[in-house]
Amino acid sequence: MAARSLNRLRNAKPAWTRGRLRFWKTAGLSRHAHVVASPELPRATRVTSTSARSRVFVEQACAARGNRYFRIEAAVRCDLSAPAEAGGGVLCVQALDARGRVLDECVTAPIRRSSAGVSVRAYYETPKETSRLRVRVGIDRAEGWLDLIEASLLSILEPEWRSHPVAIPAPQESLPPPRIARRIALVTEDARRALAGALRSALGGAADPPTVDVVPSSCARAEIGQFDALLLADERPPRAAASLGALIRLAEERTVVISLPAFAALAPKSLRVRTVEQPDDPLHAYVATSSPATRGFALHDAFSFGWPGRTPGSFAQHQFTRTAPLKQFCEKHGLLPLLKSLGNTDAASDRLVALHRPSPRGGLFVLDLLPLESSPSTLGETAPLMTLLLNILALRESGLGQYAVPVRTEADFRALIREMPVRFGCCTLHENDVPSEQLRSQILSIERSPDEGGGDRPAPDRPTVVVRSGLTGGDMESVYAAWAYFRMLVRMTPHVCPYAAALACAMRLVWQPLCAPWERADGFRRSGGPARPEAAAELERFLSARKSRLLAVIDLAARPAGQVRLMAPEWNRQERRILAWLPRLWESLGPGEACVWSTAPGADPADRDGFAWRRFKPAIEQVEDATVFDDATHGLARQAGAALWRLEIPGGGADFVAQSIERTNLGATLLEQVVGLHYGLIAVNRRAHTVEFPPFAPVAPGEALIIPARDAVLEGVAEPA
């Protein structure tokens, strides 16, 4: 069935007939705001505004039932200016009851510039009393023009993306390191393929970037033997891999990535590939095997994995047909499943969409790279596949980040937090004994190290460090980054955190995971609402009952600017010592360079023309500002003489899920180092090479630097270089 037949919106490509815009209404027209046919695009509508106070939209309503999921999308291009960050082009959905009253309204983050056009995509679950949905696209408090190219409202079962936040994969640095690709060849008949530009952009910001060459498919094996990695992205195998044996021999000495159709062409009797199209939502893939290629993902994590289909509005994916010869072929040649499909039907799900065959000097990966050649929507769907490819090429450094899809409700989140002490005996959960639907505050503490065994032994009297996350509505970055840090601390044998015992002997770590109401934005603008007052009250009661000296309160938060900030109300002796060491730790033993689809650091996130694949490793900006430390918990900390910190990481956009591995890595690593500096000095080398960190001994890969506070260097006998 064609996608347009599933679209609830009529005249989805809003064309004008005899001077009228059929099926669409206008709102907010004035002498400063107009709606006309686009003068540049034949089937598009232009919204214009000459006043930054104008709010002008085209809108359409249709019947809808409650407790249903919808994918809402608008393809737009615009050139707007606004005096405030909230102004620009927006997509808005309103849920209406039977009497036409607005039950709920969600608005996307604004876009102020997009020359080529961008798809603004969001997901929405209707409130129970919903009778109709109204979709609006237009200009909100900005000047300029916006072209609406196409809009869609499609009913879906639910979004297919998913993650497993309580799962703890093996530490990324413990996996065998693949061969680092320094010279990469894209072997193709089309020298203008977008994949080459995407890779060059993704790798170009490195200090010593790998080379990416485009090589014709007619090249002989001798001509491509100089490369560390080959990307065979066409649908036919190249001359150098004209047989299955030749391909396997190539992959013994280097990393080879080949498309599913090209690989199937080498064994037509055993392999068949079909193209599946899905009209209502992007096709996904889930992780089927833990390997170096899937660093940052847990088993069965699912992410968007498809490209535009032949039918307008549909999404396509290549899948191996499930047959007995396929199974026998994989067993014979040592091919392991890497990714499997996830669609909205059983027939489109659980099919192989990626295979791998490891080898000591490289490996063979059967994987389509077509999604990387499609422009992502505002949700940034292609980022997980780019992470996977960089893992395959060994061009992404490991870290603490983990793929994260926020759960639907606060009750679901509270229930997952309740699983932590069940799975990990060193955790203790402090909460009211009520159903998870009624919980408004939880406090998790680590009372001992994971290798101390079970039991309910009370922790010795140690100072307490409090970490708070989710301080504003919709701040998923801080919640999942803090969760990644605390999961790392409670790892069990054989992957126990190398410094967990030292830290547990020196302090009690306390985490308040969610202070504000839960809010899963799903592509819409986050409310940024304040924390609940009872969160501070619960924390105060907890600390009073423990009668433990409060050492520090650390708030973790996300902010839209692509920067990392360390904030304190004032710089006293303890803060100055931490400020002296942290930049060196961050540079030498902090997160490595990441690849993100974003604007340049500090640039306007509403300028979609500025988006590109970029290498990204933000420096730490240190800010002294007492105004952000103004709630009851901060007052309690001041009375106790505790240190106050606010750690800010990039976030706040619609693309958190797509960028979650890199953003949680930033937050978790920053927490690790700041908490470690309250112990003395703690950092872990998660890089593939030994790191020099004078005046201390070199730190080998996977090893931890653990220096107690009484060390002479930290006490000021020597200053950090």
* pLDDT tier for residue 420 given thresholds of 50, 70 and 90: very high
Q: Coil, helix or strand for 29? A: coil
Residue (of 642, 594, 589) closest to 618 by Cα position: 594
Residue 685, phi then psi, degrees to nearest 5: -85, 105
Task: Give the burial string for 333-351 (b: 16+ CB within 10 Å, else e).
Answer: eebeebbbbbbbeeebbeb
pTM here is: 0.94
What gap in Å lies between CA 705 and CA 721, rounded to an integer?
17
d(CA 74, CA 66): 22
Which segment of 62-76, 172-186, 480-494, 533-547 scores lowest on mean pLDDT?
A: 172-186
Mean pLDDT of the 402-410 span: 95
- 223 versus 675: the higher-pLDDT residue is 675
Does the structure show a pLDDT above 50 at 35? yes
pLDDT of residue 77: 97
Of 721 and 683, the structure prediction assigns the larger pLDDT to: 683
Buried (b) or exposed (e) across 20-51, using 16+ Cβ within 10 A?
ebeebebebeeeebbbebbeebeebbbbbbee
Lowest mean pLDDT among 193-207, 411-425, 638-652: 193-207
Share of the chain above pLDDT 70, in %: 95
Span 317-370, pLDDT tens digits:
999 999 999 999 999 999 999 999 999 899 999 999 999 999 888 899 999 999
In whole angstroms, give the CA distance from residue 405 to residue 479: 11
Q: Using the predicted structure, report yes or no on whether residue 453 has a pLDDT greater than 60.
A: no
For 258-294, how does the pLDDT look when each residue is reduced to its tens digit (9 = 90+)? 999 999 999 999 999 999 999 888 999 999 999 889 9
On whether the CB atoms of residues 93 and 106 are closer than 8 A, the answer is: yes
Question: How does residue 175 score in pLDDT terms, banded at 50, 70 and 90?
Answer: low
In this model, does residue 4 exceed pLDDT 50?
A: no
DSSP letter for 191, please: T
**Which value, to the nearest 10 degrees, does the dihedral of the CA atoms of residues 77, 601, 121, 665 take?**
170
Residue 127 above 60 pLDDT?
yes
Mean predicted confidence (pLDDT) in 440-452: 82
- Is 452 or 437 the better-scoring residue by pLDDT? 437
Alpha helices in 336-403 (DSSP H): 383-392
DSSP state of 637: H
- pLDDT tens readout for residues 601-650: 878 999 999 999 998 888 899 999 999 999 999 999 999 999 999 999 99
Cis bond leading into 358, ω under 30°?
no
Query: 7 near 153, Cβ under 8 Å?
Result: yes
One-letter amino acid identity for 672?
E
Inform me whether the pLDDT recorded for 176 exceeds 70: no
**pLDDT value for 455:** 40
DSSP structure class, residue 57: E
Provide the total of helices (H) and of strands (E) in the chain, helices listed first.
Answer: 14, 36
User: How far is it, in rounded angstroms, from Cα 253 to Cα 8?
Assistant: 53
Sheet holding 362-367, edge to edge: 211-215, 183-187, 229-232, 255-258, 362-367, 352-359, 336-342, 284-287, 302-304
Whole-number percent of the chain with pLDDT over 90:
75
Please tell me what DSSP assigns to residue 236.
Answer: S
How many other CB atoms are found less than 10 A from the CB of residue 245?
Answer: 10
User: Would you place residue 457 in the very low, low, confident or very high pLDDT band (cuts 50, 70, 90)?
Assistant: very low
For position 174, what pLDDT does the model report?
61
Mean pLDDT of the chain: 91
Instruction: Measure the CA–CA gap between 335 and 140, rounded to whole angstroms.
Output: 53
**Could you read off the pLDDT of 205-229 as tens digits, one per residue?**
667 789 999 999 999 888 888 999 9
Burial profile 133-144: b = 16 or more Cβ within 10 angstroms, e = fewer: bbbbbbbbbbbb
- Which residue spans within 259-368 are E strands per DSSP? 273-278, 284-287, 302-304, 307-308, 315-320, 336-342, 352-359, 362-367
- Looking at residue 592, the DSSP 8-state letter turns out to be -
pLDDT of 717: 39
pLDDT on residue 460: 59
Q: How confident is the model at residue 3 (pLDDT cuts 50, 70, 90)?
A: very low
Residue 180 confidence (pLDDT): 86
Q: How far apart are CA 110 and CA 284, in angstroms?
A: 27
- Which range, of 111-120, 173-182, 302-311, averages the lowest pLDDT? 173-182
pLDDT of residue 715: 62
